[in-house]
Amino acid sequence: MKNLVFDVNAILDLWLSRRPEAQLKTIASLILLCRQGSARGWVASSSLHVLEYLAVRQFKSEGIDPAVARQTVRQLLNKLLEDLNPLSCFGFQQDQTLVAQTDLEDAQIVAAASQLQGPTAMVTNDKRFDTRGTAVQQLMPTEVSEWLQPDSPTEKLDFIDLKTQQDAIRPQLESHLHRVLHHGQYILGPEVRELEQRLATYTGAQHCISVASGTEALLISLMALGIGPGDEVITTPFTFVATAEVIVLVGAKPVFVDAELDTGNIDAALIESRITERTKAILPVSLYGQPADMDAINAMAARHGDIPVIEDAAQSFGAMYKGRKSGNLSTIGCTSFFPSKPLGCYGDGGAIFTSDDQLAQACREIRVHGQSQRYVHTRIGVGGRMDTLQCAILLAKLPRFDHEVAQRIAIGQRYNALIDQVRIPRIQQWPDRTSVFAQYTVLVDDRAALQAKLQATGIPTAVHYPVPLNQQPAYAHLCCPDCTPAAARLAQRVISLPMSPDITESGLDRIVAALQASGHPPLSQLQ
C-alpha cells in the first residue's frame, strides 16, 4: 500500500478553507482514501505543533478568543489523527537532518517519511519541498490520484509482504519497542506475561508458554513429556526438518507415516498401524496453515493408552478446526513466530499451548534451564526464553491479526477460484476446518521450469518441501525411502506462490495469468 504524508500547508488549506472548493475537495478526497484504507495517511509529529501555531494564530487574528481557538484546533488535530498516523522523527535522525540542504522542518519530515516501507509521497503545495536523495516523491494534491494507480505489472512481487503490515502498525510497533527500551526488562519482562495471557485467551488453552522458537517449542514439549532414548514418536516426513530433528535430539526415534495427497497433512488413517508399545507421542503437522485431522488422531491416541498428541501448529496459528483454534486441539500445541509465519515476530519466537497444569509447569521450568526457583534446577532444561522485545512486537501485531486471518482466508478462496479456472491441481482445504494459508501451494510436473518462468516475470516462488525427511541423508536410515509414496510425490510437485494478507487482487490476477501463460499442462493423475 502506498503512503501519503501530508504537509502542513495542505492540511491548513483544508482547515482554513484557503483554496477554491475544488482544491479543498481534492485534499479531502485524499484523506478519505486514507480513511477507507486505500492509501495509508501520515502527518509528521513535527508538523503537529506547526499546525497548531498557524491555525490558532489565524483564528486569533480574526478576534477569536485564544482559548476557544486552541480548543478548536485541538479538536481538528484529534479528528486529523483519526485518519492520518503520526509519523515519528527520531533523535538518531537529527544528524542527517542537520546536513540537509533544505530547512530543518522539511528535513525532519523527509527523514521520517523515508522510514516508511511502501512507496511514499509528500502531499504538499510547496514546490520547493526538497525530497531529493530519498525515495520520497513530492506531489501536489492534484497529482496524487495518478501516482496511486497500481504499479507496473513487471514490478517484482514480494513472496511474503511484511512491509505493508509494518507500515500499518508502525505507531504501535514504535510504542511497544520504546516501552521495553524504557523499562529495560529484556528477559521475561511484562510483555512476555501479557503476550502469554492474550495468546492463551485467543486459543482457549489454559496455558501459553512463550519460547525462543518453534523448534524450541517442540523440543521443550518432548522433554516435558519425558520422551527419550528407546521411545518412538509418530510424525510426517512431509514437513520442515525441525519436526523430526527434535525427536532425534531427545534420543527418540521418529516413525514416519505418509501424507494425504490432497492436503499434505499426515494421513490419520495410516497412523494406527504404526503405533507400538514404544510410541510415546504422535506429532502431526498442520501443514500450509490447515489443521491435520486432529479428532481422528486424538481418538486413536486415546484408544492406545492416552498417547500424548503434539500438534505442530507452526504454520496454522489462527486456523480453526471444528470450532476450535489450532494450537489448542490436543495435549500440546506448538507454534512458531518466525517472521514469515501467519503471526510472526521480527526474529525467532514460538509458543507452547496446553491445558495440562503439570505439563505447563514442566515447560516453564525446562524453558529456563530446568529451574523451579532461582538456582534450583529440578530437571534438565534449555535456555529457551522468548525475548521481551519480540513479545512486544507480537503485541503490536495482535490487534491486526483477526483482520489478517480473515484476509488470508478471503485471498486463499480467491486463489482457489482462479487456480481452478486454469485447471492446475492445488492443495485442498476441508470444509470442517479453516486454513490460514501460511503457504498457497499448487502442484505441477516441471517445477523448475515453472519457477524460472515465473521468476522472469517478477513472481517469486518457494518449495515447501522438496525432499521428504525420510529421504534426507541424516534421516534416511530411519525409514525406507519408498514407504511414504504420497510424501515423495508431493515433494516432487509442490510449489508455493506469493501469499500474504496484504496481497492485492491485481497481484493475484497477475500471478494466475503468469501461471496460465507459462503453458504449464495440468497434472492429470494427482487428484
Partner 1 sequence: MQVEAIYNQGRIELTQPLQLRHPRVRVIVEVPDEEVPDTPSMPSASPVAATLNQAERSGLREIQDDILKEIIQILGPLYRQRIAASVTDDKQVYMDSLAEKHGS
Which residues in 482-511 contact partner 1 (CB under 8 A)?
502-506, 508-509
Q: Is 190 in the site for partner 1 (CB under 8 A)?
A: no
Cα gap 114→119, rounded to integer Å: 9
Q: How far is the CB of 171 from partner 1 (least distance, A)?
A: 8
How many other C-beta atoms can be found within 10 angstroms of the C-beta atom of residue 262?
16
Q: How far is the CB of 50 from partner 1 (least distance, A)?
A: 6
Q: Is 250 in the site for partner 1 (CB under 8 A)?
A: no
Cα gap 55→73, rounded to integer Å: 7
- Binding window for partner 1 (CB under 8 A); candidates: 9-17, 198-206, 282-290, 455-463: 9-17
In 183-278, which ranges are E strands? 207-211, 232-235, 253-256
Q: Is 17 in the site for partner 1 (CB under 8 A)?
A: yes
With H, G, I as helix, E, B as strand and everything else as coil, classify residue 316.
Answer: coil
Cell numbers at residue 458, please?
Answer: 517478477
Residue 333 amino acid letter = G
Q: How far is the CB of 289 from partner 1 (least distance, A)?
A: 16
Q: How far is the CB of 39 from partner 1 (least distance, A)?
A: 5
Among 5, 14, 363, 487, binds partner 1 (CB under 8 A): 14
Among 45, 72, 96, 117, binds partner 1 (CB under 8 A): 72
Contact present, 166 and 173 (Cβ < 8 Å): yes
Cell numbers at residue 97, please?
Answer: 537532518
Q: Is 154 in the site for partner 1 (CB under 8 A)?
A: no
Window 99-128: contact mask with partner 1 (x via CB under 8 A): --------------------------xx-x
- Binding window for partner 1 (CB under 8 A); candidates: 58-66, 351-359, 445-453, 475-483: 58-66
Site for partner 1 in 365-424 (CB under 8 A): 398-400, 402-403, 406-407, 409-411, 414
Closest listed residue to residue 350, CA positions, set 336, 360, 364 = 336
Q: Is 78 in the site for partner 1 (CB under 8 A)?
A: yes
Give 406's contacts (C-beta < 8 A, 6+ positions apart): none
Q: Is 139 in the site for partner 1 (CB under 8 A)?
A: no
Q: DSSP string of 347-369?
A: S--EEEEES-HHHHHHHHHHHBT
Q: Is 19 in the site for partner 1 (CB under 8 A)?
A: yes
Site for partner 1 in 292-311 (CB under 8 A): none
Cα gap 207→187, rounded to integer Å: 19
Q: How far is the CB of 400 from partner 1 (least distance, A)?
A: 6
Q: Is 32 in the site for partner 1 (CB under 8 A)?
A: yes
Q: How far is the CB of 292 from partner 1 (least distance, A)?
A: 25
CA atoms within 13 A on the CB side of 224: 31
Closer CB to partner 1, 86 or 254, in the complex: 86
How distant, in Å, are the alpha carbons of 131, 225, 310 from that of 360? 54, 10, 13
Closest listed residue to residue 153, CA positions, set 523, 496, 511, 519 = 511
Closer CB to partner 1, 21 or 482, in the complex: 21
Closer CB to partner 1, 274 or 414, in the complex: 414
Contact present, 313 and 341 (Cβ < 8 Å): no
